Amino acid sequence: MTAEQVNEDSWIEQSMIHFTWARHGKPMTRAWTHGILDKAELIHANAVIFGIHLGGYVAYQSNFTPSVAGMELDVLEELCNEGHRRGLRIIPYWLSTNMGGALHVHEHPDWVAVNSKGVQTGFICHSTPYADVIEAQVREVTKNYAIDGVFIDQSYCSCACSYCKENFRRRFGREMPEWTSTRYVPEDVWGKTAKETGLLRTFWLDNLRHFCWRIQKAVKETRESVLYIQSVVYDATAQAVAPYVDAICSERHLHYQRNINDIVISNRLAAAYSKKPIISQCLYGYTHHAKERPVEHFHLILMEGAATGCSPCLMELNICDDNQNRSEDLEEAGRQIRWTSEAMRDTQPVKYAALLHSKSSEGLLIGSPDVGNDVEPGALQHFKNGKAIVSREHRASFDGYYDILKSRQVPVEFITETDLDDDTLFDYKVLILPNVLCISDKNLQRVKEFAAAGGGVVATHRTGELDEDGRPRTASDIADLIGATPMKLIARDLDVPTPSLDPRLAIPSVDVWPNAESRYFHYVRAVNHPIMGELNGMLLSFTGAFVDVDDLPGSSVAAHILAMDQSRVSMQPFNRRGLFPGDVRGPLVVTSEKPGKVVYIAAQLEPIESRVRSREVDDLLYKAVTWAGGPLPVECGHCPPTLHITYNTNLNTGSLVLVLTNQSVVSALGTIRYIVPVSNIELKVKLGKKRIKEIQTATGQEIHWKQEQDTGVVAIPEVHVAECLVIRLE
């Protein structure tokens, strides 16, 4: 792959973007308009996204939409003229919220998105005639102004408004099922059956595709060079809009997500599924135009975005008009982010571990058996209270394994089921299948070919239990890969009969307590096996479900699950809080060689809820990857788990580009307030026959290094928020 193929003449890749909008209460003058560009230059941005909507009025001269009051000039025209003179790209954006389109909401209240109870969601539905308004405005602006892109904020394309109900009736020949959430349809489940849920999901995706197709058509028919960027599209949904857009903004923010990694995962999944440039946003301020975020907050989050090849975007939203605190720190943070973003241009990741995300597993519908052929893949396996739910098992395992690998500085890339067909799969050292419940026969065979070619494989828990449509497969289909035959699932949250009562107390055995969450501890004993290292002989524990398996001849067991010593649990005086390890119950870790090294882990260990009380389980999952994949290309000494590193190679120069981000944060209410610096970091980089010629850094700090045979030893004095190293070789 050449640098030209990577860029494809798309300037949006690795751009540094300043995001703001029109403002209430003050005249929009030429000086104020130039001030927008001044703020963009302050943070070293090379593009500006400007909200041309203000309560349904527009900040330009329109033939059919009234302009914002107090607009002393055509703001958009001035932004384009002066911005281009300064070398800045200009991207107007449309905001489809009740606030952004207040004029239209007032005139057409039936355009507002509502749920089945009539509760407003805060957005205007794109399946109403409001989409006609947006399309017409996009055509008008693209034709009359020298813009570089079009940014559409929000993607609310399905609700229970009268338009959506009628469209649903025409599409499926039935009434729309009731639902009560005020969020996007795919995020929650409203149908009483899996069929209803599947129909709602299909309806939403069809509407989203159609809306994006309309905007793409409006843009490209008017001026083909203008890029179309769609916002609030994330994870696997990005695959649905990819044919119609030039770039995607996931718009994940820390105060909505569990942690920073959630934002990174969402951006990376969007990139994996769309193969399009991704914009990584961060709110510098939002509510009531008060600055809400310290500089460290946006600095770290946008460096995480730049580290994964996203275009960092600061949502400033006029905050700096009145609040100029720490402007020097803001400028320096912007400079480092821009420096890193440019260093990442024309690079590709160092390929070591491939983490498979399974769309069919994450979208698996579980509920009552009312499923028809008109529903997206995801048939039923279990029932739960007669209602449809979306299985979260795979995503919990996927996210958990990513957290572990990043905390151990392991190079890891996301791949999708489609990527298994690509020959680049064989460039990776190890393929990880984190509880991939659904996998097609074709993809399962592809994984076996990878192992047969010498690639390492790590598979966990219920991997391979179902085909891509959610139909159970025979145990033998997966057994020859994982070196063990799955027998049954052991989980306390399944509705299973109680097989026995405690003989002395006449209460159910702790092992099968019915109708309880999976909070039961299982003890694990590691045996003498190369995969375990210092864990050999240790007693570990985990919480939750596991698969009862029989290991096959030629396989080795590296750790056993232990049964509870029920007699000790039942001893008088009775204390049910004590759980005691007993005899071997079955394998937890099974290894084999085919000739690639394969590790199967029978329990769902990856989610933090499963391993929070036993840090040794983190070690086990990490060791499984490095045993199967072999030595890491970079070893990190004195690195805490909060220091994350991405590894990339420049396609033109061969230089290594390493981005270090420090998540040693003190946060509150979704805001990073302080970051604890990490000092005295030592990296051992495998260089082969090459030697280090020079090291440049984003912060400007001096880096010392030495050569030890085929390894470059790099000493980094400190990483406060983040650092980027460009290691030039000779």
**What would the pLDDT profile of 574-627 be if each residue is shown by its tens digit?**
555 556 787 888 899 999 998 999 999 999 999 998 898 889 999 999 999 999
Q: Is a pLDDT exceeding 70 seen at residue 131?
A: yes
* Alpha carbons 276 and 681: distance in angstroms, whole number: 34
Who's near 209: CB < 8 A, 6+ residues apart? 240, 241, 244
Nearest alpha-carbon partner for 154 in 194, 127, 173, 116: 127
pLDDT for 198 = 75
Give residue 287's pLDDT band: very low, low, confident or very high (50, 70, 90).
low
Q: Is a pLDDT exceeding 50 seen at residue 525?
A: yes
Nearest alpha-carbon partner for 521 in 569, 478, 461, 454: 569
pLDDT for 578 = 59
* Alpha carbons 335 and 315: distance in angstroms, whole number: 16
R_g of the chain, CA atoms, integer Å: 27
Is 610 exposed, middle or buried (CB count within 10 Å of its CB: 0-12, 13-18, 19+)?
A: buried
* Alpha carbons 252 and 265: distance in angstroms, whole number: 10
| Per-residue pLDDT reduced to its tens digit, 7-26 | 345 799 989 999 998 777 77
Strand, helix or coil at 584? Answer: strand
- Joined together, the tokens standing for residue 557 give 């067991």
* Alpha carbons 404 and 621: distance in angstroms, whole number: 8
Give alpha helix (H) positions in 68-129.
Answer: 75-85, 102-107
pLDDT for 35 = 94
Mean pLDDT, residues 148-159 taken together? 90
pLDDT for 192 = 52
Give alpha helix (H) positions in 352-440.
Answer: 359-362, 393-407
pLDDT for 228 = 97
Q: Are 592 and 554 in contact (CB under 8 A)?
A: yes
Who's near 341: CB < 8 A, 6+ residues apart? 14, 15, 16, 306, 311, 312
Give residue 348's pLDDT band: very low, low, confident or very high (50, 70, 90).
very high
pLDDT for 146 = 97
pLDDT for 367 = 47
* Alpha carbons 368 and 379: distance in angstroms, whole number: 10
pTM strictly above 0.85: yes
